[in-house]
Amino acid sequence: MATGGAVAGQRAHSRERRFGRRGYSWLTLAPALALVALFTLFPVGYAAWTSVHRHVLVLQDRPYVGLRNYQNAIEDPLFVDSIKSSLIFVAVAVPLVTLVGLLVALLLNQRVRGFAILLVLVLLPWAIPTVSAGITWRLLLHGDFGALDGFLYRIGAIDEYIQWLSSPGLAMASVIGVHTWREFPLPAILFLAALQTIPPDLSEAARLDRANAWERFRYVTLPHLKAALLIVLVYETIIALSVFDLVYVLTGGGPGSATTLFSWFTYTATFKYLNFGQGAALSFIMAAVLVVFIVVYMRIVRVREEPS
Amino acid sequence: MRRRRRAANALYASAGILLGLVILVPFLFVLSASLQTESELIRRPPPIVSPDPTVDNYEYVFTGNVPAAYASRELLRGTVTQDVRQIPKGLRNSFIVALGTVLINLVLATLAAYTFARERFRGRQAAFFFILGSRLLPAVAVAVPIYVSLRSLGLLDSKLGLVLIYSAFTLPFSIWVLTLYFRSLPGEIEEAARIDGCTRLETLRHVVLPLAAPGLAAIGAFSFLFSYSEFMFALFTTETPHAKTIPVIIASVSVNPDASYTLIAVGIVLSMIAPIVFALAFRRYITSGLVASLTRG
Amino acid sequence: MRRKTLTRRAAIGLLVVLLTAVTAATAALGAGGAREQTSLTFDVWSYSIPTIQDNIKKFQQQNPGVKVALRDTSWFDYHDVMATRFTGGNAPDVTYSSDHWLREWVAAGWIAPLDEHFSQFKSYMKEWAPYAREGMTLDGKLYGLPYYADLVTFIYNDRILRQAGFRSAPKTWEEVAKQALAIKNKGLAKYPIYIPLKKDDPWLIEIFYSMVYGQGGHMFNKDDNPVFNRPGSPAEKTLQWLRDAMKKSKIFNPAAPQSAEPDIVKTMGAGNSVFTVLAKYNLAELNLGQHKERGHFRMALMPGASHSTVGFVRFYAMSDRAADRGDDVVKNSGAFLQYFGGKTDGQYKVVKRWALEKGLGFANLPLYADRQVAASINKWGSVPLERSQAKLAHVKEGLTPYWGVWDIYARQQLNAAILGQTSPRKALESMADRWEQLKKQYG
């Protein structure tokens, strides 16, 4: 055994020794591994197989078609549109979520009376079901009976209702906004934890050195946040690439194809067009892209996990 | 200097109030909407707070007594739907599914994490990497195959099927958090227990678990919140009120032509109670768990 | 070294045992799903579930050996969810279907011809309106009994129209635009026109068809080839009209691309809009429901040269699975269909109930002779007007096995064209391209 010299376990129970440490190890891992494998390894394998067959739900035979599903998927005009939408979504939502999270963390790190309540409240948007959040925002943002327009109209800020969800540009902005509302608590909590690891005398020293607020942030705070920042960016990218529930209840991918993100397009191809082969091809493309991010993410976390 | 400090504090306080508003307004809106009558809500512009709040809509959801405001109609088409009467059942289903998932997580994740934390064996790295990586796979990408798996297991439209899926999706995270947690515990007490003749499992149960309670609370809370709220798998694998969870029911109610906006709002409010209570009760553990999982705190 | 391989073997052995156990459990569970013979599964889209359940209760009282399990799904997702159920070994015994999907469901072998099992149903056929009969038959075989059948109609608020100084409802879409503009300019409604255009709502395609039909236009020819994509076709004009109304003259509620039927009904009821196109039963809701403007709504013939519109039928069908499950299930499914879509004690009991309580339309022409029904319709609508519109109604064209899948793409394109993300021309062309592609795929 590679690490046979480990101290603990050397004087183990005799019954256990007969069974073996490795036996014990695998036995305790097996149930969890089996369950996870059933819902990850098998699906990925199945998707790979389906993606090279014609698998249209209502047609009986399923011949091998090589890469035609991939080709058809890529040639669909919606494919390019959805990739564009997803890129826009990621490019705006990820920095926005990170920035809002950071600002909230910086704010909550101040010792101000009453902020204890905010620390509690901050969890709420993240804790409730996405579906509930999405429907609530749909009722708020609807361009005909929405309460937000109603409020703005009442205070005289607008004289025409704003079409938050049914004008193409605004719809995307609204989805990003609601996504940010729901998603910022996570980075906020993370950054706050990182901020609290900064020794107070460090910024005090900087203050005495007459460093201004920006300099203190740049040279004292930021270096402490670097690791958390990296993790948040990658993690939020993965989340943003796989957003689904929110689009489902808020816009349904519309109007037109304005909020048809890649994940939504995959869902549409599969469950709406009932073309499981093409859906699998898209899932596979998506999984491949995500695996890149996942590996990056694991690297970052891993580096921190085992410093020795 | 002090004046500047006071100015800064005022600035922080107002930013804090703004933040509080941004967080709370949607909650207050939907709560207020659930207490109104339909005609008020679609007025243009709608009232901010109903002048005449009513809990009739809640009563209808639980008892089926049609609110007086709707009863005067000759036709009962629109605004009152039986669909919302499934909400109590959905709440129960969500709760049962979430608890089942929590249970599986507590048992399986504890076993696996303790091994990952304390044992060294070949394949450990690979197993760990596999488990951690799998948690990030997007649900959309595996939805169809998982549907097929459940079908062949005969578990479509069942709470057990959902519990299995959710366990598979939450276990990686739980194992991760717990592994980190176990590692942060001092190993000496465990060694002492081993010398006294305890097996690994006995050590785990009697020595480690009591120390790891906060970690267990964190993974419990996480798996609860995840399974209570999950939407996509529940949407595709459930068919009847027997297994439909609350997110599926309120999503369906929200597009039901017979559902008034007030009833939709009632559904949303009811769907949020359990997660909010849970999140608040376990806030501390959630925070530390999150931090640990993302950064190894 | 030896111990090492031993433990490794033990571990591998364990894993194998575990996997076998999982597989065995799988097989056991999979086999254990058999149902009781007398239980029927009934799938519907969510609409007035309490009424359906009450009907089921009454049916069960009359047929004590049968137990009906109801499953409901949102109308938005019905097509996709049912496809998943039918192919996923989770088919119902009896189910709602629609003329939209008849060919798809028959081609896929999901539903069974009723006349082969229940010859008595044939006698109903002569009592149905032609568009409904056509919507439930394929290659001479009958696949359904009507749940309800209705028309897509033009609905307007008569009070506001008069207030704006107009004596009669518009007869063409140009006139609709003219009146709407006048209403807008008089400040009577900011957006007088409000038609549901949400792409997820299956109504969108039927409404679009109706607007095209009304102008004497067509979507497909007799051989199911697209004609909507011809330059200057009524389809293109309709799409252009919708777009201009929304973008240029701003007489069309801009929230429409994200609004579905219930949203429209509520806004119309509140008096915020004046003209719409909806299934006729909404007129009952608007005139009798809890709305500020109740009682002020009228229907008019679909604007355009021909005043034609879509007549559609939603029906009860029996699944192929039920037919396979044996005589007992077939017999009871027959009793079920008879009770829900046919006559009990010489009366269309359930169909009549839907008409009286919910204002749903019907294809069973003898019901018009029923005084109670006629009186009830006249409370919120007009029997003569309804009948003259019904005479001008046609089924949807192009109903092929792949129409249901094409429809989803088509709605997305229509939505995008109205919003200006693409031009009407281009949208219609890509709808035609998709049609050709599907035709090839479905061979």
- In angstroms, the separation between the Cα of residue C140 and the nearest Cα of chain B is 33
Is the minimum CB–CB distance between B136 and chain C shorter than 8 Å? no
Q: How far apart are CA C296 and CA C292, in angstroms?
A: 10
Beta bridge partners of C277: C154
The pLDDT of residue B55 is 86
Q: Which amino acid is at A142?
A: H
Residues 6+ apart with CB under 8 A from A136: B26, B27, B29, B30, B268
- Residues in A closer than 8 angstroms to C84, CB to CB, are 57, 271
Residues 6+ apart with CB under 8 A from A3: B120, B121
User: Closest Cα partner for B288 from B197, B191, B228, B212?
Assistant: B212
Stretch among A89-98, B61-70, B241-250, C156-165 having the lowest mean pLDDT:
B61-70
Using left for φ > 0, alpha for ψ between -120 and 50, and beta otherwise, residue C304 falls in left
User: Chain C neighbours among B 73-102 (CB < 8 Å)?
Assistant: 73-79, 81-83, 85
Select the residue from B106, B233, B278, B295 to test the A interface by mutation, using most A Cβ atoms within 10 A: B295
Rounded to 5 degrees, what angle do the CA atoms A12, A15, A16 make?
Answer: 50
Stretch among A6-10, A287-291, B24-28, B214-218 having the lowest mean pLDDT:
A6-10
Say yes or no for a CB contact (<8 Å) between A271 and C15. no
Determine the residue of chain A that is closest to B170 in CA distance.
A36
Q: What is the 3-state secondary structure (H, E, C) of chain A?
A: CCCCCCCCCCCCCHHHHHHCHHHHHHHHHHHHHHHHHHHHHHHHHHHHHHCCECCECCCCCCCECCCHHHHHHHHCHHHHHHHHHHHHHHHHHHHHHHHHHHHHHHHHCCCCCCHHHHHHHCCHHHHCCHHHHHHHHHHHHCCCCCHHHHHHHHCCCCCCCCCCCCCHHHHHHHHHHHHHHHHCHHHHHHHHHHHCCCCHHHHHHHHHCCCCHHHHHHHHHHHHHHHHHHHHHHHHHHHHHCCCHHHHHHCCCCCCCCCCCHHHHHHHHHHHCCEHHHHHHHHHHHHHHHHHHHHHHHHHHHHHHCCC
Is the minimum CB–CB distance between A157 and chain B shorter than 8 Å? no
Is the minimum CB–CB distance between B145 and chain A shorter than 8 Å? yes
Residues 6+ apart with CB under 8 A from C260: B255, B257, C76, C196, C198, C200, C201, C203
Q: Return mean pLDDT, chain C.
A: 89
Written as six digits, the tokens of A6 are 């480990």
Is the minimum CB–CB distance between B136 and chain A shorter than 8 Å? yes
Q: How far apart are CA C229 and CA C426, in angstroms?
A: 9
- Residues in C closer than 8 angstroms to A53, CB to CB, are none
Say yes or no for a CB contact (<8 Å) between C30 and B153. yes
Say yes or no for a CB contact (<8 Å) between B24 and A39. no
Is the minimum CB–CB distance between B251 and chain A shorter than 8 Å? yes
- Residues in B closer than 8 angstroms to C67, CB to CB, are none
φ and ψ of B154, to 5 deg: 70, 25
Q: Which of B142, B229, B294 shows the shortest C-beta gap to A39?
A: B142
Written as six digits, the tokens of A58 are 């209502």
- Do C281 and C360 form a contact (C-beta atoms < 8 A)? yes
Q: How far apart are CA B242 and CA B247, in angstroms?
A: 14
Q: What is the 3-state secondary structure (H, E, C) of B95-124?
A: HHHHHHHHHHHHHHHHHHHHHHHHCCCCCH
Q: Tell me the three state secondary structure of residue C331.
A: helix
pLDDT digits (tens, 9 = 90+) for C33-88: 444 457 999 999 888 777 888 899 999 999 999 999 888 777 888 888 898 788 77
**Residue C81: other Cβ atoms inside 10 A:** 20
Location of structure tokens 């019954």: A15
Residues 6+ apart with CB under 8 A from B51: none
Q: Which of B73, B236, B239 shows the shortest C-beta gap to C290?
A: B73
Q: How far apart are CA C265 and CA C287, in angstroms?
A: 11
Q: Which of B75, B83, B239 shows the shortest C-beta gap to C357?
A: B75
Residues 6+ apart with CB under 8 A from A83: A262
Q: Which of C32, C49, C358 shows the shortest C-beta gap to B77?
A: C358
How is residue C125 annotated by DSSP?
Answer: G
Q: How far apart are CA C380 and CA B94, in angstroms?
A: 42
Q: Which of C255, C401, C430 shows the shortest C-beta gap to A166?
A: C255
Say yes or no for a CB contact (<8 Å) between A21 and C80. no
The pLDDT of residue C324 is 93
Q: How far apart are CA C42 and CA C10, in angstroms?
A: 51
Q: Tell me the three state secondary structure of residue C179.
A: helix
Q: How far apart are CA C276 and CA C294, in angstroms?
A: 15
Determine the residue of chain B that is closest to A40 in CA distance.
B134
Instruction: Compute chain B's Rg from CA coordinates.
Output: 24
ipTM score for this prediction: 0.89
Q: What is the mean pLDDT of residues A233-240?
A: 87
Q: How far apart are CA C225 and CA B230, in angstroms?
A: 43
Q: How is C369-419 classified by DSSP, letter by letter? A: G-HHHHHHHHHHS-HHHHHHHHHTEEPPTT--TTHHHHHHHHHHHHHHHHH
Written as six digits, the tokens of B187 are 């190993």
- Do C284 and C359 form a contact (C-beta atoms < 8 A)? yes
- Do C443 and A63 form a contact (C-beta atoms < 8 A)? no
The pLDDT of residue B199 is 84
How far, CA to CA in Å, does B54 sit from each of B87, B125, B253, B263?
19, 59, 20, 12
Written as six digits, the tokens of C205 are 């395609």
The pLDDT of residue C37 is 55
Q: Which of C11, C83, C257 shows the shortest C-beta gap to A22?
A: C11
CA torsion, ordered C14, C16, C21, C27, to nearest 10 deg = 180
Determine the residue of chain C that is closest to B152 in CA distance.
C30
Q: Tell me the three state secondary structure of residue C110.
A: coil
- Local confidence band at B93 (pLDDT 50, 70, 90 cut-offs): very high
- In angstroms, the separation between the Cα of residue C429 and the nearest Cα of chain B is 30
Q: Which chains reach chain B with 3 or more Cβ–Cβ distances below 8 angstroms?
A: A, C
pLDDT digits (tens, 9 = 90+) for C249-260: 999 999 999 888
Per-position pLDDT tens, chain C of length 443: 444 454 555 555 555 555 555 544 444 444 444 444 579 999 998 887 778 888 999 999 999 999 998 887 778 888 888 987 887 778 999 999 999 999 989 988 999 999 999 999 999 999 999 889 999 999 999 999 999 999 999 999 999 999 999 999 999 999 999 999 999 999 999 999 999 999 888 899 999 999 999 999 999 999 999 999 999 999 999 999 999 999 999 999 999 998 888 889 888 998 999 999 999 999 998 998 878 899 999 999 999 999 999 999 999 999 999 999 999 999 999 999 999 999 999 999 999 999 998 899 998 999 999 999 999 999 999 999 999 999 999 999 999 999 988 998 999 999 999 998 899 999 999 999 999 989 988 87
CA B265, chain centre distance (Å): 19
- Local confidence band at B284 (pLDDT 50, 70, 90 cut-offs): confident
The pLDDT of residue C227 is 97
How far, CA to CA in Å, does C228 sit from each of B77, C47, C416?
35, 32, 17
Q: How far apart are CA A245 and CA A128, in angstroms?
A: 13
Location of structure tokens 């690994």: B200
**Residue A307: other Cβ atoms inside 10 A:** 6
Size of interface A-C (CB pairs under 8 A): 134
Select the residue from C4, C19, C23, C46 to test the B interface by mutation, using most B Cβ atoms within 10 A: C46
- Do C357 and C51 form a contact (C-beta atoms < 8 A)? yes
User: Chain A neighbours among B 66-95 (CB < 8 Å)?
Assistant: none
User: Chain B neighbours among A 163-202 (CB < 8 Å)?
Assistant: 181, 186, 189-190, 193-194
Say yes or no for a CB contact (<8 Å) between C10 and A145. no
Say yes or no for a CB contact (<8 Å) between A123 and B280. yes
- Do B270 and B118 form a contact (C-beta atoms < 8 A)? no
Q: Which of C15, C22, C257 shows the shortest C-beta gap to A26?
A: C15
- Do C102 and C135 form a contact (C-beta atoms < 8 A)? yes
User: Chain C neighbours among A 190-249 (CB < 8 Å)?
Assistant: none
- Residues in A closer than 8 angstroms to C263, CB to CB, are 142, 144-145
- Do A138 and A245 form a contact (C-beta atoms < 8 A)? no
| E strand map for C144-265 | 145-157
Sign of the dihedral defined by the CA atoms of residues C6, C11, C15, C18, in that order: positive
Rounded to 5 degrees, what angle do the CA atoms C152, C154, C155 make?
Answer: 115
